[in-house]
């Protein structure tokens, strides 16, 4: 066993300035550090990134408020990097900044990511960056490790060296850039508790400080969407996509906003773009299926719902919507199976009980129909579909 000085830095793009500061600090202390500084050719991106995790002993994970927020998606890259580091038994070091909260991040720590809380995290108080780097080196990196280091494949060495040289040449982030990133994380926190007015004000300031901060436009678009400003949201998503055209999240967000405005063809175009970039995105299939269903393309909708079911087997929405299509065709037994699968994975999902209740009615089981509809209303008293059907059934039938 020996002390290893090779490090992989994992970070969300919105924490780029933090990652660059950590890179410079560790490089200046003699460590061999890699992080995805510039875009790698899409054909080799996955291979290079995962091989660099295997080629390095230490895995330094930069944790800001939004870092884990997309880790429920199977093809999210931060998630895949963490899973690979854990599987390869790297020395995983979560580095938490003052806007990160373990409890708030818990819903996103799915699968192997739940183990993150068991690692010895390094906290970085605001204003104590240099002291934290000292502690990182002294307590976390300066230790003997018993692990297998895989050499970088010869075909990837030039790509890796280019990344490192570009990061070395990059200037230290300015105070203005660091302030923009800090405000972004502050805005994310406000939006997480539905304070969208406050979030929008912060995102406005982020964009004033750094007009190329693509995720600030995207997230401001989401806050505008939540406030009902669909036009403003779409304009922000347009700006985000112009700056970062390879981000699938931006397409799915714009697609959903277009869908709510009734632009189903535009929404489908965005979902297609999302799936070109992220073929494992179950939400894109689900939303595209809903758009196809509204446009009167039930076979295309079914295929999309089935893809979503395969990719997200623990989500109730694909089963529920798949059941709706089948019930519309009079395939009540098959529809019942879908609603029951939705209830199995989400026992408090009111819509599944509502759909199952109506399906029971069409099968002639009024008692079970009423029971399901009443239970749906107990779960969601404002569920108008269940209210209307319960009234029609108990009022003497359907006209």
> 214-236: per-residue pLDDT in tens?
999 999 999 999 999 999 999 99
Higher pLDDT, 27 or 3: 27
pLDDT of 11 over the 50 cut: yes
Per-residue pLDDT of 85-94, as tens digits, reads: 999 999 999 9
Tracing tokens 């030039």 back to the chain, one arrives at 158
Average pLDDT, integer, range 172-180: 94
Which tens digits make up the pLDDT trace of 182-225?
A: 999 999 999 999 999 999 999 999 999 999 999 999 999 999 99
Structure confidence at residue 55 (pLDDT): 93
Give the mean model confidence (pLDDT) for residues 241-247.
Answer: 95
Q: What is the pLDDT of residue 398?
A: 43
Indicate whether 167 pLDDT > 90: no
Pairing mode, if any, of strands 2-3 and 58-63?
unpaired
Q: Which of 37-46, 74-83, 98-107 has the lowest mean pLDDT?
A: 37-46
The answer to whether 100 and 64 are in contact (CB under 8 A) is yes
Please tell me the distance from the alpha carbon of residue 171 to that of residue 168, in angstroms, as a whole number.
8
Spell out the domains of the chain, with CATH numbers in brackets.
Answer: 2-169 (3.40.50.10140), 176-330 (1.25.40.10), 331-399 (1.25.40.10)
The answer, yes or no, to whether residue 53 has pLDDT greater than 50, is yes
Tell whether the model's pLDDT for residue 387 goes beyond 50. yes
User: Which pLDDT score is estimated for 365?
Assistant: 97
**Which pLDDT band, with edges at 50, 70 and 90, does 147 fall under?**
confident
For the chain, what is the mean pLDDT? 93
Mean pLDDT, range 60-76, rounded to an integer: 93
Q: How confident is the model at residue 116 (pLDDT cuts 50, 70, 90)?
A: very high
Q: Which residue has the higher pLDDT, 168 or 94?
A: 94
Task: Please give the pLDDT value at position 46.
Answer: 80
**Cα(36)–Cα(45) distance, rounded to whole angstroms?**
9
Q: What is the per-residue pLDDT across 362-384, written as a single tens digit (0 to 9) for each? A: 999 999 999 999 999 999 999 99
* Residues 319, 192, 346: CA angle, nearest 5 degrees: 20
Asked if pLDDT for residue 106 goes beyond 70, the answer is yes
Torsion of CA 212, 213, 215, 219, to 10 degrees: -100
Tell me the C-alpha distance between 10 and 206, whole Å: 23
8 A C-beta contact, residue 198 and residue 190 = yes
State pTM to two decimals.
Answer: 0.87
How far is the C-alpha of 10 from the C-alpha of 127, rounded, in Å?
22
Reported confidence tier of residue 338, pLDDT bands at 50, 70, 90: very high
| Per-residue confidence (pLDDT) for residue 39, from 0 to 100 | 58
286-303 pLDDT, tens digit per residue, is: 999 999 999 999 999 999
Kindly state the average pLDDT of the residues 322-339. Answer: 97
Let me know: does 20 contact 167? Beta carbons within 8 Å: yes
Per-residue model confidence (pLDDT) at position 175: 94
């Amino acid at each position: 066993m020996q002390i290893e000085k090779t490090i992989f830095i994992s970070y969300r793009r919105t924490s780029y300035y933090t990652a660059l500061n950590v890179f410079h600090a560790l490089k200046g202390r003699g460590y061999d550090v890699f992080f995805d500084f510039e875009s790698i050719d899409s054909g080799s991106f996955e291979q290079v990134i995962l091989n660099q995790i295997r080629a390095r002993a230490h895995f330094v994970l930069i944790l800001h408020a939004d870092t884990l927020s997309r880790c429920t998606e199977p093809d999210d890259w931060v998630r895949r990097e963490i899973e690979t580091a854990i599987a390869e038994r790297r020395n995983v070091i979560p580095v938490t900044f003052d806007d990160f909260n373990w409890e708030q991040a818990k819903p996103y720590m799915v699968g192997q990511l739940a183990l993150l809380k068991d690692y010895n995290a390094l906290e970085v108080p605001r204003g104590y960056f240099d002291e934290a780097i000292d502690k990182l080196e002294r307590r976390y990196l300066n230790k003997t490790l018993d692990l297998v280091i895989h050499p970088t494949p010869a075909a990837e060495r030039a790509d890796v060296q280019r990344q490192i040289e570009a990061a070395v040449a990059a200037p230290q982030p300015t105070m203005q850039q660091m302030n923009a990133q800090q405000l972004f994380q502050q805005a994310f926190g406000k939006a997480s508790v539905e304070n969208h007015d406050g979030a929008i004000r912060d995102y406005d300031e982020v964009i004033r400080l750094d007009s190329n901060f693509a995720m600030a436009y995207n997230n401001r678009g989401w806050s505008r969407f939540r406030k009902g400003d669909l036009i403003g949201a779409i304009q922000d998503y347009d700006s985000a996509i112009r700056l970062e055209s390879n981000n699938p999240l931006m397409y799915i967000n714009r697609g959903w906003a277009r869908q709510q405005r009734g632009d189903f063809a535009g929404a489908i175009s965005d979902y297609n773009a999302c799936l070109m970039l992220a073929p494992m995105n179950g939400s894109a299939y689900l939303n595209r299926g809903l758009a196809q269903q509204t446009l009167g393309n039930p076979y295309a909708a079914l295929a999309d719902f089935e893809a979503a079911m395969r990719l997200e087997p623990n989500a109730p929405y694909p089963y529920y919507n798949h059941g709706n299509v089948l019930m519309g065709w009079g395939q009540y037994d098959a529809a019942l199976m879908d609603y029951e699968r939705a209830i199995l994975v989400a026992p408090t999902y009111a819509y599944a009980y509502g759909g199952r209740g109506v399906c029971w009615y069409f099968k002639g089981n009024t008692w079970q129909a009423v029971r399901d509809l009443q239970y749906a209303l107990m779960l969601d008293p404002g569920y108008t579909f269940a209210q209307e059907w319960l009234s029609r059934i108990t009022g003497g039938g359907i006209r």
